[in-house]
Amino acid sequence: MKTKIYLFTSILGMLLVGRISHAQNSLKGRVLHRENNEAVIGANIYIAELRTGTSTNVNGDFHLKNLPKGTFTVQISYVSHKTLTQKIAIAGETIQHFIMDNAATSLEEVVVTGAGVKTLVKESPVPIAALSRTQWLQSASTNLVDAIVKLPGVSQIMTGPTLSKPIIRGLGFNRVITVHDGVRQEDNQWGEEHSLHIDEFSIERYEIIRGAGSLMYGSDGLGGVISVISPTPTEEGKIRGSILYNFQSNNTLQGISANLGGNTNGFIWTGRLSHKNAGNYQNPYDGLVNGSAFNELDYSGMIGLNKKWGYSRLYFSKFGQNINIIDGTRDVFGNFTQSALLNGKVVKQQVSKEALENPTINPSNSQQLENYKISWNNYLNLGKSTLSFNLAYSQNRRKEYGNIFKPFQADLYFFLETLYYDTRFNFPEKNNFETTIGTNGMLQKMNNRGNETLYPNFNLLDNGIFVFTKKKIDKLILSGGLRFDIRQLNIEKLYIDSEGKFQTSPSSNTTERFSGFEKNFKNITGSFGAVYKINDLLSVKTNLARGFRAPSVPEISSNGEHAGTFRYEIGNINQQSEVSLQNDLGFTYENTSWYADVNFFSNRIQNYTFSERVQTGAGQDSIINGVPAFRYQQGNARLLGMEAVLTFNPMSARWLSITESYSLVNGVNLSAKNDSAKYLPFMPPPRWLTTLKLTKDTWGKNLRNAYLTLELEHNQQQNKVLLAYNTETFTPAYSLLNIGTGATVTNRKKQALFSLYLNVNNVLDKAYQSHQSRLKYLDTNLSTGRQGVFNMGRNVSVKVVVPIN
């Protein structure tokens, strides 16, 4: 592994030196509104292959310098306008002007999936959804995953407003790969009791691939890929930044994020500092929910070079989050309780009103999550070919505290180190063929450093090679590829001492509990798809993909109480790899006033892994150490579903748009022995989302980009659940009303002074439980008979963004 990385870096260094030249290539021009020929102020200009861009000034002008010579895909986007894409040959000083049309939506968006491979949504046979920073600002969210769950086919398994894991088409955890600036994010993806360790404020754009992502990223991409991308570097000769402040009323969340970046002769730099602090959230049934407070402190930055040979960038980031754990315990009157020491004994005491209103992190019932990451991203222009190379190292420190006698000593402490690499060579386009070959993989090592052990230490080595190609034939676009992966997994032995606690090393009072595990998992995956443009308005697309996921360490070796989930987990040493075969079929229609996109999918998975309750011979829940026991099981599964979007944006009233979306997934366990075990757990219910949006480019002399949105989200009843062993229960239907408004305030010179975004989620303060909320299975409130804890009530979010120039 070390030899391979050294060889890559040596070659890269020689190429960097060899490509430097004093010639200057640039792109400049002007962007105008078609309807009145006025300047578009603040339009984003983005070159997909180079991951660089700028924005237009008050005259609509832009200028990008220090560019490589070659043909690149340029994207021009602006709020409530049709996104433009155009291939432009850049040689010397290149001038290109653009005219933009009003529009509510457009498929013609460049999507950079991971590193070095670009595509247009219209040319992808796999459904792709995107969310821009502007769209995120116009919504209310409490974490990174919460920001994207309203996209078609996306949902979340949540433990309160802080802890969320993304679900794509019913698949989640390490079946969904997260890529951060071209680098695979590794922070214990298999766990459901913590969020992705990325600063929500630092993201410029989300790209969601719905479908098997194993081809480009290796094992674990059965459900799809979430690519999160940081802001583009500042344009040449400028120092720019912003300050963002966010207040949310429900849990009195206060968040602030400041960033600053510069560019001098192609030397680029940026830095960001973010902080969040939130109290307990509330809803009409539970009042203030004990244990839901959290705080977060993150910092990140980048230094690099933008030159004619390409770019080289060094990213660094630190994510830090402290969160209480919601256990939902109450007294007979329905008041929340918590453990306390009284005369040396542990007792349950009512949580006072003052403690609920002014919460602090409880050191004996909390988690501390930290993620440190440094990555080196490179893109080289080699004439008509290009080479990208990413190398990253990360440390993930996950601590869980649950001992009232030792409140500042972690019961569980997972120390995970990951070394990741990704390199891709893009051949020059020839005869309408675009071909990429590449390899990526990672080296992982996990050590237990806590007082207790849930699963043993392990070492993991992933390697994969792939080829991907695309061919255009008149109205037909064919794309596909193959990949070979091998994962070497070595799990160390586990011991148990005389007190019943697990240990990672033997001693005089321990016996062997887990004998160790060593195995290689390997597989061939592939994908083939086609997009056919029937006419100028209608196109059809289809894709067939084979995915692969090797079993995770907890699924093989867990044998202990997990403090954050309040259950005893039991693994299965005979776990097999999951293998999926997914087929997609979609239709897209778009004219001047209507846009429709419908996608159907079928996904069959061999050896699908899920966790179910263990029961005794008498049919009762098996209880170990005072918590219910769960065991990992496998069986064949089938997931069927669809996503549909319909938008009306009349040509005569571009300021108005109405969008209706629908998502459905039905997961069935084909190996079930009875009807109660027929359905897969934690499947999202069918969901309707209706959005009315009004926009106005300019309003008076000092308002720009004004908008008003009304949104109705309806989740149908979920009665297709895993009833066996009391694993799940039915969830009734519910509807939520959300509203939002905002605008940018400018000075007399049309320069932005600040932007204001006001959003109200759950306007009617509806009390509800999401089917994918883990809190709905906590203890029953004896005073009301309602089980578990309910989701957040009405929440008013105010965001203010002040630019720094």
In the numeric block, the tokens 């440190």 are attached to: 372
> Residue 769, Cβ neighbours under 10 Å: how many?
21
- For the domain 128-804, what is the CATH superfamily, name and number? TonB-dependent receptor, beta-barrel domain (2.40.170.20)
Cα 283 to Cα 781: distance, rounded to the nearest angstrom: 14
Q: Is the pLDDT of residue 14 over 70?
A: no
Sign of the alpha-carbon torsion through 145, 149, 151, 152: positive
Decide the pairing of beta strands 224-229 and 176-180: parallel
Q: How high is the pLDDT of residue 4?
A: 45
Q: How high is the pLDDT of residue 192?
A: 63
Higher pLDDT residue, 585 or 774? 585
Q: Is the pLDDT of residue 681 over 50?
A: yes
Q: Is the pLDDT of residue 621 over 70?
A: no
Helix (H, G, I), strand (E, B), or coil: what is residue 95? strand
Mean pLDDT over all residues of the chain? 88
Higher pLDDT residue, 11 or 610? 610
Query: What's the average model confidence in pLDDT over 752-768?
Result: 96
Q: How high is the pLDDT of residue 16?
A: 45
Q: How high is the pLDDT of residue 18?
A: 42
Cα 539 to Cα 2: distance, rounded to the nearest angstrom: 47
Query: What's the average model confidence in pLDDT over 157-161?
Result: 87
pLDDT in tens, 296-313: 999 999 999 988 888 999
Higher pLDDT residue, 27 or 497? 27
Decide the pairing of beta strands 567-570 and 627-648: parallel
Beta bridge partners of 168: 154, 171
Q: Is the pLDDT of residue 441 over 70?
A: yes
Q: For residue 12, name the pLDDT band (cuts at 50, 70, 90).
A: very low
Query: What's the average model confidence in pLDDT over 204-222?
Result: 83
Q: How high is the pLDDT of residue 22?
A: 46
In the numeric block, the tokens 């798809």 are attached to: 529
User: To the nearest whole percent, how much of the chain has pLDDT over 70?
Assistant: 92
* Main-chain dihedrals φ then ψ at residue 416, nearest 5 degrees: -110, 125
Burial of 570 (0-12, 13-18, 19+ CB in 10 A): middle
Q: For residue 564, name the pLDDT band (cuts at 50, 70, 90).
A: low
DSSP string, 729-777: --B--EEEEEEEEEEEEE-TTS-EEEEEEEEEESTT------TTBGGGG
Q: Is the pLDDT of residue 613 over 90?
A: no
Q: How high is the pLDDT of residue 104?
A: 54
Q: For residue 402, name the pLDDT band (cuts at 50, 70, 90).
A: confident
Decide the pairing of beta strands 171-172 and 476-491: unpaired
Q: Is the pLDDT of residue 53 over 90?
A: no
For 12-26, 281-295, 321-335, 630-644, which range has the lowest pLDDT when averaged over its residues?
Answer: 12-26
Scored b (16 or more CB within 10 A) or e, 685-723 reads: bbbbbebebebebbeeeeebbbbebbbebebbebebbbb
DSSP 8-class letter at 641 = E
Higher pLDDT residue, 103 or 145? 145
Query: What's the average model confidence in pLDDT over 425-437?
Result: 91
Q: For residue 108, name the pLDDT band (cuts at 50, 70, 90).
A: low
DSSP 8-class letter at 107 = S
Q: Is the pLDDT of residue 471 over 90?
A: yes
Cα 797 to Cα 739: distance, rounded to the nearest angstrom: 10
Cα 757 to Cα 247: distance, rounded to the nearest angstrom: 11
In the numeric block, the tokens 């505290």 are attached to: 401
Q: How high is the pLDDT of residue 106?
A: 53
For 106-120, 364-378, 454-468, 605-619, which range has the lowest pLDDT when averaged over its residues?
Answer: 106-120
Q: Is the pLDDT of residue 79 over 80?
A: no
Domain boundaries, the chain: 128-804
Cα 224 to Cα 527: distance, rounded to the nearest angstrom: 13
Q: Is the pLDDT of residue 743 over 90?
A: yes
User: Taking CA 437 as the corner, what is the angle to CA 436 and CA 442, rounded to the nearest 5 degrees?
Assistant: 125
